[in-house]
């Protein structure tokens, strides 16, 4: 049940939804045409006689069909599949030392936000669970205008210069001759490109890690990726990297699980986000900043302008400066989530750009794409894109203009309107670009400071826990295993040797390839053909870089809560009501969602004749939709489940996907019917890695407590080692 505060927010949200302009909701109204004429018959077209042809004259029919025929707009060229939500952002302490941006200095302000999460490669209707980067785009509707933080759930990018973006996307999208595969990077063209682009290696480590298959959009980090500038009221600037830290921690699913979810519920993430908000479990992130003083620009081994690099948190800590809460679902997917137009160039006074060549290229691309996608220059007038502060300028006309500009003048300077709209001085909030000194020659080249492509890939790999490393190996074996061209696989082994020899040899083994004794140096296409290669050797290290960076591993994330985790309670007629409800109540008290899954829908009759409502049947549920499983006692229920292949499969899958499993001692027979329990070592005592997260007890209260701690651990990846469980 949502608490008092949450209920208040939900009620206020309803009011906002009613008050906003452009909203329409038919409650007992009469159906009309778009010209407002009441319709008498919406079921039959106008015909010449009962069995005669339809008449052209039927303006009601024509209007309806014409509108329908034009319902589609081009989907986004990337990030087509997305899910959105409204919310608010509030800063904890004034950041005025660094920036004059009002939403980062005024602690009393609640700034409205709209967030759109997305996958990158798939089409609009593709699954939520491919191995992919997730977009994490936040629109802040500040009192000084819109600021868009258009980031991803990974802190680096594939390429250093935006001129390579079309190549990257053409390579990862379905192949041009047969439009295969959908929403997948596991194919020849992607790896062909990557194997020829050493600068992508760091990003590839992230993409092959579990970050690419999140458990929930609510459990992902977000990153602004580029280094931006903050500028304060004295026009002093510092560099900044933006982070979003989810309060529920960073968690993923298993790859086998991701593939199954894609079949059983392609809307898994969208549904999860929607349901969390509807139930008052508002997703929360803290905004983090890494601040680098201007004077330290050249202090690091890497270039701050290079988007394939992070600033390790050991070198510059992340300060958590505010919180974002998503508390309202969109009213209409198309009007809001589809029509929202983000742009890295939407900044407010106090935030400015750097010369990162990827960022600079993005500054061009985003408006350009909206012109084709949303059909013209007035896309900013679509309700979801409008700032909350008024807009005044001399821009006029264009397709679908909404604003009715009054008066005679649409130019500046003018005298007829007293010079309106007037310019604002910087002190009055007028945007002034940071006066960065630039003294340069025009050059189509990349800086030598961008040429260390492997150190941070190695840092990322070394920072992972053993199971995470294994997942990277498995992911690379999977992805490259789907590549038909052996030369591409081999070239990738060459790249991986630059990251870690052991990683390379494990992947090579899985692919049946050899790691060459003397791997060829990866080809670097960003070096101009007629250049002296010595000019592009990475600079020698300047500052000690950590061997490992703890925040890079998801193993170190917060694991103190089971809030919003979904737990299946497997039961059938004859279940022991106390054994079921004690655990159910304890889980719900800890904030989890506990659902009874049974052989049939409706109610099951407990041993004491009470009726227990069933949420899902084995036909409509699947183990992969849950974070943990509990089997209560009751001899008839246990007998039914132990003989039910679906119930046993449910448990086998949960074990294979390393989830917490609990059974009342009276239900241990159901576990004994599973593959894993039979195969577990004779010694089923605590402390055995394979038994971790498997709980059997005859004390339902004690079991619930241990179970809750186990679920909070998220997954017991160590179990994967023997790889003996079919699922």
Point out the residues that are catalytic.
Answer: 79, 152
Can you tell me the distance from the alpha carbon of 471 to that of 187, in angstroms, rounded to the nearest whole number?
19
Of 1, 680, 592, give the one whose Cα is nearest residue 279: 1
Q: In terms of CB distance, is 288 or 467 closer to ligand HDD?
A: 288
Token representation of residue 448: 């030598």
Residue labelled with tokens 């302009």: 21
C-alpha distances (whole Å) from 131 to each of 209, 284, 406, 499 are 9, 24, 51, 21
152 touches ligand HDD (CB under 6 A): yes
- The residue within the footprint of ligand HDD, chosen from 99, 118, 498, 640 (CB under 6 A), is 118
Piece of the chain touching ligand HDD by CB under 6 A; list 32-40, 361-369, 539-547, 609-617: 361-369
Piece of the chain touching ligand HDD by CB under 6 A; list 269-277, 328-336, 354-362, 473-481: 354-362
Running DSSP on this structure, what letter comes out for residue 556? G
* CB atoms inside a 10 Å sphere around CB 591: 13
Q: In terms of CB distance, is 209 or 497 closer to ligand HDD?
A: 209
* CB atoms inside a 10 Å sphere around CB 308: 24
Would strands 566-570 and 628-631 be described as parallel, antiparallel, or unpaired?
parallel
- The residue within the footprint of ligand HDD, chosen from 103, 141, 157, 626 (CB under 6 A), is 157
Cβ partners under 8 Å of residue 129, min gap 6: 213, 253, 258, 259, 261, 262, 266, 268, 269
Piece of the chain touching ligand HDD by CB under 6 A; list 339-347, 554-562, 565-573, 675-683: 339-347
- The residue within the footprint of ligand HDD, chosen from 60, 91, 101, 137 (CB under 6 A), is 137
Q: In terms of CB distance, is 114 or 655 closer to ligand HDD?
A: 114
Q: Cα 119 to the chain's mean position, in Å?
A: 7
Q: In terms of CB distance, is 80 or 694 closer to ligand HDD?
A: 80
- The residue within the footprint of ligand HDD, chosen from 83, 127, 237, 307 (CB under 6 A), is 307
What's the closest the beta carbon of residue 128 comes to ligand HDD, in angstroms? 14
Would you say 580 and 596 are in contact if contact means Cβ atoms under 8 Å apart?
yes
Site mask for ligand HDD (CB under 6 A), range 218-257, x = bound: -------xx-------------------------------
Would you say 423 and 432 are in contact if contact means Cβ atoms under 8 Å apart?
no
For the chain, counts of helices (H) and of strands (E): 19, 18
Size of interface with ligand HDD, in residues (CB under 6 A): 27
Q: In terms of CB distance, is 161 or 653 closer to ligand HDD?
A: 161
Q: In terms of CB distance, is 344 or 583 closer to ligand HDD?
A: 344
Would you say 660 and 627 are in contact if contact means Cβ atoms under 8 Å apart?
yes
150 touches ligand HDD (CB under 6 A): yes
471 touches ligand HDD (CB under 6 A): no
Would you say 445 and 528 are in contact if contact means Cβ atoms under 8 Å apart?
yes
- The residue within the footprint of ligand HDD, chosen from 165, 255, 676, 716 (CB under 6 A), is 165
Site mask for ligand HDD (CB under 6 A), range 74-93, x = bound: --xxxx--x-----------
- The residue within the footprint of ligand HDD, chosen from 81, 86, 100, 116 (CB under 6 A), is 116
SS3 track for 174-207: CCCCCCCCCCCCCCHHHHHHHHCCHHHHHHHHHH
Of 229, 219, 358, give the one whose Cα is nearest residue 289: 229
717 touches ligand HDD (CB under 6 A): no
Q: What angle do CA 13, 15, 17 make, to 5 degrees?
A: 70
Running DSSP on this structure, what letter comes out for residue 528? -
Residues 607-646 touching ligand HDD, rule: CB under 6 A, are none
Residues 366-425 touching ligand HDD, rule: CB under 6 A, are 366, 369
Which residues in this chain contact ligand HDD in the complex, by CB under 6 A?
A: 76-79, 82, 116, 118, 135, 137, 150-152, 157, 162, 165, 225-226, 307, 340-342, 358, 361-362, 365-366, 369
């Amino acid at each position: 049940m949502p608490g008092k505060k949450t209920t208040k927010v939900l009620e206020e949200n309803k009011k906002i939804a009613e008050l906003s302009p452009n909203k329409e909701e038919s409650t007992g109204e009469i159906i009309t045409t778009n010209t407002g004429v009441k319709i008498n018959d919406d079921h039959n077209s106008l015909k010449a006689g009962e069995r005669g042809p339809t008449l052209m004259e039927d303006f009601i029919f024509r209007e309806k069909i014409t509108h329908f025929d034009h319902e589609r707009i081009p989907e986004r060229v990337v990030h087509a599949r997305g899910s959105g939500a409204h919310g608010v952002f509030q800063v904890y302490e004034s950041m005025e030392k660094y920036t004059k941006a009002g939403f980062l200095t005024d602690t009393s302000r609640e700034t409205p936000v709209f967030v759109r999460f997305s996958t990158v490669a798939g089409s609009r209707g593709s699954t939520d669970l491919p191995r992919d980067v997730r977009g994490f785009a936040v629109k802040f509707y500040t009192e000084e205008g819109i600021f868009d933080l258009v980031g991803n759930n990974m802190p680096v990018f594939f390429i250093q210069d935006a001129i390579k973006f079309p190549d990257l996307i053409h390579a990862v999208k379905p192949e041009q001759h047969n439009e295969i595969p959908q929403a997948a990077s596991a194919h020849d063209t992607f790896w062909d490109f990557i194997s020829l682009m050493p600068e992508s290696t760091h990003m590839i480590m992230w993409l092959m890690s579990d970050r690419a298959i999140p458990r929930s959009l609510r459990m992902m980090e977000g990153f602004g990726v580029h280094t931006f500038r903050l500028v304060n009221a004295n026009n002093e600037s510092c560099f900044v990297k933006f982070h979003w830290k989810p309060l529920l921690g960073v968690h993923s699913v298993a790859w086998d699980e991701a593939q199954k979810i894609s079949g059983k519920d392609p809307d898994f993430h969208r549904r999860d986000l929607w349901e969390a908000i509807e139930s008052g479990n508002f997703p929360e992130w803290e905004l983090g900043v890494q601040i680098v003083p201007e004077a330290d620009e050249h202090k690091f081994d890497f270039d701050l302008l290079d988007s394939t690099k992070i600033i390790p948190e050991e070198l510059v800590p992340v300060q958590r400066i505010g919180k974002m809460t998503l508390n309202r679902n969109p009213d209409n997917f198309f009007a809001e989530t589809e029509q929202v137009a983000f742009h890295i160039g939407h900044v407010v006074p106090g935030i400015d750009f750097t010369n990162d060549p990827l960022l600079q290229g993005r500054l061009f691309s985003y408006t350009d794409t909206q012109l084709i996608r949303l059909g013209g220059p007035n896309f900013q007038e679509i309700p979801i894109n409008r700032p909350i502060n008024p807009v005044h300028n001399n821009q006029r006309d264009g397709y679908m203009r909404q604003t009715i500009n009054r008066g005679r003048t649409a130019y500046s300077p003018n005298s007829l309107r007293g010079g309106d709209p007037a310019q604002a001085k910087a002190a009055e909030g007028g945007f002034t670009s940071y006066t960065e000194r630039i003294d340069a020659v025009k050059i189509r080249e990349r800086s030598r400071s961008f040429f260390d492509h492997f150190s941070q890939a190695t840092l990322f790999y070394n920072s992972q826990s053993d199971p995470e490393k294994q997942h990277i190996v498995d992911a690379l074996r999977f992805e490259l295993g789907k590549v038909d061209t052996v030369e591409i696989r081999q070239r990738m082994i060459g790249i991986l040797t630059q990251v870690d020899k052991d990683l390379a040899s494990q992947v090579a083994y899985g692919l049946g390839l050899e790691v060459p004794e003397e791997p060829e140096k990866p080809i670097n296409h960003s070096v101009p053909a007629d250049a002296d290669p010595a000019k592009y050797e990475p600079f020698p290290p300047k500052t000690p870089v950590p061997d490992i960076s703890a925040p890079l591993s998801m193993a170190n994330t917060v694991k103190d809560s089971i809030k919003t985790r979904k737990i299946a309670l497997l039961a059938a007629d004859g279940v022991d009501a106390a054994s079921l409800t004690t655990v159910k109540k304890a889980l719900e008290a800890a904030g989890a969602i506990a659902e009874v899954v049974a052989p049939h829908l409706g109610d099951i009759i407990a041993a004491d004749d009470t009726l227990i409502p069933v949420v899902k049947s084995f036909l409509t549920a699947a183990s992969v939709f849950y974070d943990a499983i509990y089997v209560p006692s009751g001899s008839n229920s246990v007998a039914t489940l132990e003989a039910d292949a679906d119930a046993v499969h449910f448990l086998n899958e949960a074990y294979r996907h390393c989830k917490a499993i609990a059974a009342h001692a009276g239900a241990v027979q159901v576990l004994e019917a599973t593959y894993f329990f039979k195969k577990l070592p004779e010694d089923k005592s605590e402390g055995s890695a394979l038994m971790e997260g498997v709980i059997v007890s005859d004390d339902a209260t004690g079991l619930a407590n241990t179970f809750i701690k186990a679920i909070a651990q998220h997954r017991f990846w160590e179990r994967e080692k023997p790889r003996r469980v079919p699922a």
